[in-house]
Chain A
Amino acid sequence: MKKILALTLALALLCPTLGALAEASIKIGIFEPMTGATAAGGAMEKEGFDLANELYPDVLGKKIELVYGDNKSDRAEATLAAQSLVDKGVIAVLGSYASGLSMAGGEVFAEEEIPALTATATNPTVTLDCEWYARICFIDPFQGTMLARYAVKNEYKKIAIMREKDSEYAVGLVKYFQDELANHEGFEVVEVCDFMNKDEDFSALLGAVLAAQPDVIFTSVSYADKAAQIMRQARALGYEGAFFGGDTLDAPELYSIAGEAAKGAVFTTFYDAAQPATEKTSEFLDAYRSKYGKEPAASVIMAYDAYLTMRDAIERAGSTDNEAIREALFATSGFVGAAGTITLSETHDAVRPVVFKEVQADGTTIFKDMIEP
């Protein structure tokens, strides 16, 4: 019995060796967290990549094949996932959601010299010292600064911060926010409370926050669901002030989990559907709505744009040579995507305006403000 079992096990391990796929396609790796703590972000970006692949399926006269690598929301796993993508012969990589995972993947992509492009990882460290990573989103120092200016503009004198301590994104954003706020007389951070991603009960933290009687609560979180829980629990404790947060709040979970409590919350994002940025916006929106039957989150359209940007770079490179693609990618300038025009700086980060949106009572969001860099 044991022997048969051992044999079956060995076979089970051996059998999934797949035959070589057709060589006629160009492979682009999708490096995303499909499982684990940030799986929601990965799922959103996957929608964008898939949709873009449907609408623009080829480059250089060849079919683009998307190869998925699940990094399990885990830095250690991410390097293996990245390496497995390289092994499958991808010529370029898109992703990942969450900066820490992109950093881990970047170690491999730099070593293997594979150009990589992230749609939404905003932490500056991702492209820093990594000559093969680029991004089409803005970076946190810019976003944090803009959030601080937003607070100043709205006369929020007393600001309380809820910070997700184990998220590199959330911690960085708060730091840049505080740095900028220090430049403005009369504005102060009255309380900074930390929590971990696993935490669910914020009552004690909110007790301390509310005791400081803030005008606004800044929720710096790795994903919208945590902000939603904070909002809901704060309202249940009688808080009536405002909320705002960074681009991670732009996800459907904000309203679906917070419900009414999210009303009036303001967050930064990359684009606004009501103000079509380019001719490609409506094409994207129509295709998305008809395919998924809902409104897209910002991460979806950013992923869509990342795909188009990479495709454009390959087109301009004229070959599948990694050096040529990287050069073309880093030289991206004035490329018209669905969420706006993309120009990469010399640090291969995108320079783009930050959009502020506000959640309405019915869960929709409206355009509130836009600040050009």
Chain B
Amino acid sequence: MTKVKKSSMLLSCLLLAALVGLLAYIDGSASNYIVRITRLCAINIVLALSMNLVQGFTGIFSLGHAGFMAIGAYTVALLTIPVAKKETLFMLEPLIAPFNTLTLPFGAALLIGGLLSAALAFLIGLPCLRLRGDYLAIATLGFSEIIRIVITNAQSLTNGAQGLKSIPKTANIWWCYGIALAVLVFISLLISSSFGRALKAIREDEIAAESMGISLLGHKMLSFMLSAFLAGVGGGLYASYIGTIGPDVFQISRTYDILMIVVMGGMGSISGSVVAAFLVTIGQEWLRVLDGPLPFLPFWPENGVSGMRMVVFSILLLIVILFFRNGLFGHREITWSAIGRRLSALAGHRKDGEVKAHE
């Protein structure tokens, strides 16, 4: 067993090195467009994993992600925009203290954004986590919208609909992937810990879990807050990635987009969320071609059909959902031993090459 573990460890290190090499290559040689998409992939991984924690592993049907992202994004923006730019930016009403004179390093701002988001999750969770299923979903969705409406109206804090711009673009490829990797490792460890097993027990059967002595509200709350923390960090990265934010960035559809990734990858599968984050982010960009002219299709309008890519994207999404009803991965994970079994199965020309469920 230790031998297997050792070789897994070795393989993981090799993979990590390969990843770092690939990222360095992309960062150095690829066009800024590719770099931008690559960064977005990492941010979506963070967001998807944070949602998967509540949805997939704890079974809390929360739709408040956009709100938590907004908290993180606005915190990072307000704490990192240079003071001089803030003065010109807040044209309609001046920014209130202490933000008008305060700037912090990106990392600190990110952390504070996450913490604020988690604190808010605590306040929202107190009433909401007592609700069940769809009721919880609509209540969290409601809070997410309320956050957005407050942001729109709080002119002297958020600059209202004007939004914020000139957010330093610190979130380069290393920040994004560093955090994504940290979150990945953190969630993996968390899930295999006793706390993670308790969460899964709650997901499978609340009553049974409670009778086993698991504190329902406590565990749910911690999971909810952790998820909000990560969503806040993801939102902060997102703000630095776009460079400009406004209330319109955090509409409910942002939550749906992340939900799509999570469900497509498989609820309760970490590898699934990661793979789906790449597929959805890159796929959506690839389809951009459909909006433009397609010279090889004679019936296609010369200037292209704007919006066609989203039509095709939604059809692809539906196909994936309909044919992979548990997502691409279900509850399964990609592990070295699973890959090894797969390879030996292929080598042995055995017909039954299914990857065994492995959590």
Contacts and interface: CB of A to CB of B under 8 A. Distances in A.
Answer yes or no: A and B touching, Cβ < 8 Å.
Answer: yes
Interface of A: 1-2, 5, 9, 12-14, 16-18, 34-35, 50, 66-68, 70, 72, 74-76, 79-81, 83-84, 86-87, 100, 103-104, 106-108, 111-112, 123-125, 128-129, 165-168, 170-172, 175, 194, 196
B163 A168 contact: yes
Given A68-B292, A107-B243, A100 B33 contact: no
A97 to B, nearest CB: 13
Contact of A35 (B37, B160, B245, B307): B307
Contacts of B306: 34-35, 68, 70
Contacts of B289: 16-18
Given A34-B307, A123-B162, A129-B166, A75 B323 contact: no
Contacts of B319: 5, 9
B161 A12 contact: no
A76 B73 CA distance: 12
A172 B91 contact: yes
Contact of A124 (B91, B254, B283): B91
Contact of A104 (B34, B169, B243): B243
Given A5-B323, A171-B161, A172-B92, A100 B153 contact: no
Nearest to A110: B243
Contact of A80 (B37, B92, B307, B324): B37
A196 to B, nearest CB: 8
Given A87-B32, A111-B169, A129-B85, A74 B310 contact: no
B32 A83 contact: yes
A13 B247 CA distance: 32
B290 A103 contact: no
B103 interface: no
A173 B292 CA distance: 35
Contact of B88 (A87, A129, A171): A129
B264 to A, nearest CB: 11
A75 B89 contact: no
A104 B33 contact: no
Given A17-B286, A129-B165, 5 more contacts: A50-B303, A79-B244, A87-B31, A168-B246, A170-B161
A68 B32 CA distance: 18
Contacts of B282: 13
Interface size class of chain B, counting residues whose CB lies under 8 Å from the partner chain: 35 or more
Contacts of B161: 100, 165-168, 170-171
Contacts of A103: 163, 165, 244
Interface centre among B85, B286, B294, B324 (most CB of A within 10 A): B286
Given A12-B316, A35-B310, A166-B248, A76 B91 contact: no
Nearest to B292: A68
A66 B169 CA distance: 29
Nearest to A5: B323
A81 B309 CA distance: 13
B338 interface: no
Nearest to A105: B244
Contacts of A2: 323-324
B134 interface: no
A260 to B, nearest CB: 31
A78 to B, nearest CB: 8
Contacts of A66: 303
Interface in B237-254: 238, 241-249, 254
A168 B244 CA distance: 13
Contacts of B290: 16
B40 A80 contact: yes
Given A75-B245, A123-B162, A128-B88, A165 B153 contact: yes
Contacts of A50: 303
18 contacts: A16-B289, A68-B292, A68-B304, A74-B248, A75-B242, A80-B37, A80-B285, A83-B33, A87-B34, A103-B165, A107-B166, A112-B32, A125-B91, A125-B162, A168-B161, A171-B92, A172-B162, A196-B149
Contacts of B163: 75, 100, 103, 168
B303 A84 contact: no
B288 interface: yes
B103 to A, nearest CB: 16
Contacts of A112: 32
Contacts of B287: 13, 16
Nearest to A111: B169
Interface string B303-331: 11011001000001001100110000000
Contacts of B92: 171-172, 175
Interface in B124-148: none
Interface centre among B162, B242, B294 (most CB of A within 10 A): B162
A12 B283 CA distance: 9
Contacts of B323: 1-2, 5
Interface centre among B163, B279, B290 (most CB of A within 10 A): B163
Interface in B33-85: 33-34, 36-37, 40, 85
Contacts of A79: 36, 241-244
Contacts of B160: 165, 168, 171
B304 A107 contact: no
Nearest to A141: B91
B188 interface: no
Contacts of B283: 13
A106 B324 CA distance: 40
B291 interface: yes
Contacts of A106: 165, 244
B244 A107 contact: yes
B291 to A, nearest CB: 5
Given A35-B310, A123-B162, A84 B324 contact: no
